[in-house]
Amino acid sequence: MNNNLKDNDEKKEDLRVRIFAGIVIIIIAVGYYFYNINYTSRGIINKVLNNIEGKTLNSNFSSKIKSANLSTDYSVEQAIKDIETLGLNTINLPVVINIDDITSSNVSIDENSLERAKILLKELKGKNINIILEPYPWIANGSKYETDLNPIDKAEFLSNWRDDVIKPLIDEIAIPYRVDALNIATGFTHLENMEDEFCEIIDFSRKYYKGLITYRTSFWTTANWKDEAVKNQVDELNEKYNQKLNNKIFSKVDFISIASYFELTDNDTNTVENLVSSLSSSQRYNRGQNIKEQVENFNNKWGKPIFFGELGFPRTIKASVEPWNPYLSKEINTQEQANCFEAYRRVYESEPWFLGFSIFAVGNKEDDKMYYPSEEAVEVIRNWFIEE
């Protein structure tokens, strides 16, 4: 009888151990699941985006996005100062992606850039700053623009970009640091026609990352010239715009990002009023391009909010002529830079489809950083969305 009691006690103890082990396994599995759903972003909490007309994208982006792009050589200390100075609620965080040349298919994450991003994210913890993560193409040691990237084997490049850039960034940054949005690529002008491949990258990303996803396209030009001698040129520009507008990449993203370096005037300096007018009819080469209308068309076409993922002007004269070119003039004019930002504020701020902007670029204020906002520009930027 004693043996039977002993056997029963051992069986009960064994059962308790098994139950305890099962509970531990369940806790670990549940913990792992919630750790990976990025629950402070879209995840299971936000199945769909809230209506942009309600001035909210999701629970994280509780107001319109007021962001700035960090330069690739930012310092953590200066980045934090700039966030406070500009009154930002979001930061666009670049991680440098090394690419040998514009024709290369090989890509690799820069380890120093990756580690600096982790340090900044740790410093920002608890500061209520949203994060947009961007793999930043660093081509030929920074000497070439991403808009010039034109790999010989485009399919191989995009496959490498997915496997060697997007997936590691999701695993090492986006999930563990609960990043709010992932920009899968920026200004790959010669690759945008690879629509199926980009859509596959977005679907691939969503398997692992539950936050918001965007893609940043480059600005464009069109013209309303009536001269028959340039009709073919006008038609070509319009066709390129229509191809961009109808690109099905935008059907896959949560919001549409645009690098807004549109050419506005031919003037050294401008009043704010003249710059406002040029956003509806560009004066540059008398193109008559209705920039605001063309930007809004993306919202009308795809039903997605529009975000200026880069908005920058050099602090010089001619800032409105070629905003994408920091070397057009060496003559400093900080008020012209501020006037350009103010014109954008007046034209776009109250539009219900306009999600927000990201100023290019902060985090390093050395003298050669021509896009770093002047004191006059800072005052304008601080006042964006101030009523919210």
The DSSP string of 235-299 is HHHHHHHHHHHT-THHHHSSEEEEE------S-SS--HHHHHHHTTS--GGG----HHHHHHHHH
How far is C-alpha 260 from the geometric centre of its chain's CA atoms? 12
Determine whether 77 is exposed, middle or buried from the number of CB atoms within 10 Å of its CB (0-12, 13-18, 19+).
Answer: exposed
Residue 258 · residue 247 · CB < 8 Å:
no
The token pair that represents 235 in the structure block: 């038609």
28 pLDDT band (50/70/90 cuts)?
low
- Angle made by CA atoms 154, 159, 164, in degrees to the nearest 5: 125
Inter-residue contact 262 to 282 (CB < 8 Å):
yes
pLDDT digits (tens, 9 = 90+) for 336-364: 999 999 999 999 999 999 999 999 999 99
**What are the C-alpha distances in Å from 16 to residues 7, 23, 317?**
14, 11, 78
Q: Could you tell me the domains of the chain?
A: 37-382 (3.20.20.80)
Q: Give the mean pLDDT of 27-45.
A: 44
Q: Which two tokens stand for residue 150?
A: 């034109």
Instruction: Look at residues 311, 375, 300 and name the one whose alpha carbon lies nearest to residue 345.
Output: 311
Task: Please compute the mean of the pLDDT values over residues 75-101 and round it to a whole number.
Answer: 97
Task: Kindly report the backbone phi and psi dihedral angles of residue 195, in degrees, each rounded to the nearest multiple of 5, phi listed first.
Answer: -65, -45
- Condensed to tens digits (0 to 9), the pLDDT of residues 122-177 reads 999 989 999 999 999 999 999 998 999 999 999 999 999 999 999 999 999 999 99
Instruction: Give the residue-averaged pLDDT of 215-239.
Output: 96
**pLDDT for the residue numbered 6:** 54
pLDDT digits (tens, 9 = 90+) for 242-291: 999 999 999 999 999 999 999 999 999 999 999 999 999 999 999 999 99
φ, ψ dihedrals at 102, nearest 5°: -70, -15
In this structure, of 11-15, 219-223, 269-273, 296-300, the range with the lowest mean pLDDT score is 11-15
Checking if the pLDDT of 31 tops 60, the result is: no
